[in-house]
Structure 1
Amino acid sequence: MHITSAFDSGNIEVIDANSQPVQLAIRRDNNSDFYQWFHFRLEGEAGQSYPLRITNAGKAAYPEGWENYRVCASYDRHNWFRLPAEYDGETLDFTVELDRPAIYLAYFAPYSWERHLDLLAWAQGDDRVQLETLGQTLDGRDMSLLTIGDADAAKHRVWMIARQHPGETMAEWFVEGFLEALLDEANPSARSLLTDTVFHVVPNMNPDGSVRGHLRTNATGANLNREWQEPSMERSPEVFLVRQKMLETGGDIFLDIHGDEALPFNFVAACEGVPGYDERHAQLEETFKRAFVAASPDFQTERGYDLDKPGEANMTVGTNWCGHQFRTLALTLEMPFKDNDNLSDPIEGWSPARCQQLARDIFLPIREALNSL
């Protein structure tokens, strides 16, 4: 048997390969206590079973994320299915029964840096898309922005950023589905939106953390979604560069795409705790949520985060900063790592395909919110 994570977004340490089960541990993010993302390849003998144990699961960033969790697995790195796992409060145990000599195992279906570059290359082939490099990360990777539509003639602007937390790969799967739908000439919702709206899309806010196999931070250990009040090129260039561009362009809607480790539902978090939050904010949020519920059976409003009290929002969070700065609709969209318990899938759980479909369903709530401005 051989286990390796020496590849893009790989993360695992082999503690004892000769024990039963094999003892593994997840590496921490660089200069950080965060960890939960894992991604590795196991090679063995087809037809054999391999019991595995993640020994430090109980001290991960979100231990409740292991409850009722199923491991993502793939033989071809394209089609992902789920393996049952058991969590006892300290360790996560699961068994791989190999049908082929090698299998990939991950916390969620990975979204590779190569696929990210492919997405940018594909998108720029459309004449309505402008690809812009805002600057570089600490590891020297490009911070890429896609602008879709006629920025000079547009009546509205919508910003969408994704993957501030690199282990939340469902966010970039969502963006891929969104861009495919937005650029589909046969999609009447997209064509209608692009007559009066320009979209600014950052598919990956955290390239370094993504490649390094981090859960939540960039190369230097900064949680980007706690950097929005005072970002710097030395610590959080990703936020600094995108925030600078937002201040140049402004916007009517700001959507920050994420994944939640514990809650098995799709939901949004708003900016109700920011200074200056008013009835206009509340009405825009209600309009968006009501339309999203109508558009997608995968979206719901009953379960989510506790609301911030007035004036008690954390202003270092992207959604709160945007909602306060631009006095408009700003939402964090959260998707599950596990499954959507309201509409579960016993084979794949919450999956890349479901992320992409949810993205296609977001056109109606965007239009309804813009119409109410």
Structure 2
Amino acid sequence: MKISATFDSGAIEVVRLDDPTDIRLRLRKDNAADFHQWFHFRLMGAAGKPVHMVFENAGTAAYPGGWRDYRCVASYDRQNWFRIAATRFENGELIVDHTPAHDSVYYAYFEPYSHERHLDLVARVEQSPFARVRNLGSTVEGRDLDLVEVGQDAPGRVPIWIIARQHPGETMAEWFVEGLLERLLDGADPVARKVREQALLHIVPNMNPDGAVRGNLRTNAAGRNLNREWRAPDAVASPEVFLVRAEMERTDCALFLDIHGDEALPYVFFSTAEEVPGFTAEAAAAQARFVETLRAVSPDFQTEEGYKPGRFGEELLTLASKWVANHFGCVSLTLEMPFKDNAILPDAQVGWNGARSKRLGAAMLDPILRHLGDGGDPARGA
């Protein structure tokens, strides 16, 4: 048998591999920070053998609560991913039992979204007559920071910003953006057409390509958690936020969506802006309309479960959606999707996955259109 992880987003440490019934592994830390939870590796030579894999340090992961009711994902072709039912967390260890049908099998924390797929996505988008791709600058390690613009830069167009994957291990976020872009660029879709006519959308499919390629859970190559950098981004250590924030200041922002995944909660939900200083009654009403419209068009989304007030404490205005809500006075939301399954619409075979994230991304156009129909952002009187 052999385990390898020297590929895009690969991450694991092998402790012992001499016995398929007692494979010992450790979750690898982010390259420049102590966060660890993401894993992605290939096992070879175990076809037909009952494999017992123990992740010894799962109990010290960034979010140990994420292991409760979690099921590992696996794939033979890297296209179709399924959940392994025999996954459990006990005594501080994540244990996965599986009998591979083939000699080559991939295991991951969640369905990966590779940098090659990202490049394919932006290349495909650039072929659309409705979109263009701009380079905002370079990441810590020199990778391109891609910005997709959809709609015409003309007077009266409402500026909308959507960013994803500040935390690189939250791959569902870029799956979401892929689904949103596919619908948004569909010339036959009337909702997409109306959105394109009324808005100029600025979309960053992957805020953290360095961390994504490295197989990091939460940080960029310099060890910075990008979603704690928005109040005062560092041009050297967190250029990704520095560059995006500067462009947002240039273009203005009337609606902001930050797309994420949550390790512990098995729901799709928004983290809203009630706690942000200066949050007005008008902003609350506009936010409520947006949230209710998504709930109406997507049964995967719910409003009963989510983050408790006070979760972010003094960090509040270092977070993207909270800083934007405070700075621009617009509707500004963080969308969270589960790493596990969606408890209100479970799927025993795949759980929450890339395809479901894409459908949610497509559904997001409906509340965006309603928001535009309300006048762009009545919370700001525009």
**TM superposition score category, shorter chain reference:** over 0.9
Task: Select which of 200, 214, 221 maps to 2:223.
Answer: 221
Q: Find the counterpart in structure 1 of residue 97 from structure 2.
A: 95
Deviation at 1:89, TM superposition (A): 4.1
Larger deviation, residues 126-135 vs 307-316: 307-316
Q: Normalized against structure 2, the TM-score is what?
A: 0.95
How do residues 196-211 of structure 1 correspond to structure 2 at under 5 angstroms? 196-211=198-213
Distance in 2 separating the partners of 1:311 and 1:38:
30
Q: Secondary structure in 1 aligned to 2:317?
A: coil
Q: 1:309 to 1:110 in 2, by over 3 A?
A: closer
Larger deviation, residues 279-288 vs 339-348: 279-288
Distance in 1 separating the partners of 2:316 and 2:137:
27
Q: Work out whether residues 272 and 313 of structure 1, in 8 Å CA contact, stay in contact via their aligned partners in 2.
A: no
Larger deviation, residues 255-264 vs 84-93: 84-93
Deviation at 1:312, TM superposition (A): 6.0
Larger deviation, residues 42-51 vs 219-228: 42-51
Q: Match for 2:184: what amino acid?
A: L
Q: Match for 1:145: what amino acid?
A: L
Deviation at 1:95, TM superposition (A): 1.6
Distance in 1 separating the partners of 2:329 and 2:6:
45
Deviation at 1:30, TM superposition (A): 2.0
Task: Select which of 314, 330, 340 maps to 2:332.
Answer: 330
Question: Residues 21-64 of structure 1: CA distance to partner in whole angstroms, max 9, x if unpaired?
Answer: 20000111122111100000001142112110100000000000
Q: Match for 2:210: what amino acid?
A: D
Q: Match for 2:285: what amino acid?
A: Q
Question: Residues 125-174 of structure 1: CA distance to partner in whole angstroms, max 9, x if unpaired?
Answer: 01221211111011110011010010124521111000000000000000
Distance in 1 separating the partners of 2:134 and 2:183:
21
Q: Work out whether residues 194 and 369 of structure 2, in 8 Å CA contact, stay in contact via their aligned partners in 1.
A: no
Q: Find the counterpart in structure 2 of residue 73 from structure 1.
A: 74
Distance in 2 separating the partners of 1:94 and 1:2:
17
Q: Match for 1:53: what amino acid?
A: V
Distance in 1 separating the partners of 2:126 and 2:3:
38
Distance in 1 separating the partners of 2:311 and 2:36:
29
Q: Work out whether residues 252 and 370 of structure 1, in 8 Å CA contact, stay in contact via their aligned partners in 2.
A: no
Distance in 1 separating the partners of 2:110 and 2:48:
25
Q: 1:370 to 1:308 in 2, by over 3 A?
A: farther
Is 1:172 aligned to residue 174 of structure 2?
A: yes
Deviation at 1:367, TM superposition (A): 1.6
Is 1:193 aligned to residue 189 of structure 2?
A: no
Q: Find the counterpart in structure 2 of residue 32 from structure 1.
A: 33
Q: Where in structure 1 are there 5+ consecutive unaligned residues? A: none
Distance in 1 separating the partners of 2:158 and 2:309:
28
Q: Match for 2:8: what amino acid?
A: D
Question: Residues 200-235 of structure 1: CA distance to partner in whole angstroms, max 9, x if unpaired?
Answer: 000000000000000000001000000001101211
Q: Secondary structure in 1 aligned to 2:302?
A: coil
**Fraction of identical pairs, as percent:** 49
Distance in 2 separating the partners of 1:311 and 1:235:
24
Is 1:343 aligned to residue 342 of structure 2?
A: no
Q: Work out whether residues 275 and 310 of structure 1, in 8 Å CA contact, stay in contact via their aligned partners in 2.
A: no
Q: Secondary structure in 2 aligned to 1:195?
A: helix
Q: Secondary structure in 1 aligned to 2:237?
A: coil
Question: Residues 345-373 of structure 1: CA distance to partner in whole angstroms, max 9, x if unpaired?
Answer: 00000011100111111111112222222
Deviation at 1:307, TM superposition (A): 2.4
Q: Match for 1:198: what amino acid?
A: L
Q: Find the counterpart in structure 2 of residue 124 from structure 1.
A: 126
Q: Find the counterpart in structure 1 of residue 292 from structure 2.
A: 290
Q: Match for 2:181: what amino acid?
A: L
Q: Find the counterpart in structure 2 of residue 162 from structure 1.
A: 164
Distance in 2 separating the partners of 1:177 and 1:128:
16
Equivalent residues, number: 373
How do residues 44-83 of structure 1 correspond to structure 2 at under 5 angstroms? 44-83=45-84
Q: Normalized against structure 1, the TM-score is what?
A: 0.98
Distance in 2 separating the partners of 1:71 and 1:154:
47
Q: 1:54 to 1:194 in 2, by over 3 A?
A: same
Distance in 1 separating the partners of 2:270 and 2:199:
22
Q: Find the counterpart in structure 2 of residue 110 from structure 1.
A: 112
Q: Where in structure 2 are there 5+ consecutive unaligned residues? A: none
For the aligned residue pairs, the C-alpha RMSD in angstroms reads 1.4
Q: Find the counterpart in structure 1 of residue 232 from structure 2.
A: 230
Distance in 2 separating the partners of 1:294 and 1:214:
35
Q: 1:54 to 1:280 in 2, by over 3 A?
A: same
Distance in 2 separating the partners of 1:201 and 1:264:
26
Q: Find the counterpart in structure 2 of residue 250 from structure 1.
A: 252
Q: Secondary structure in 2 aligned to 1:37?
A: coil
Distance in 2 separating the partners of 1:70 and 1:15:
22
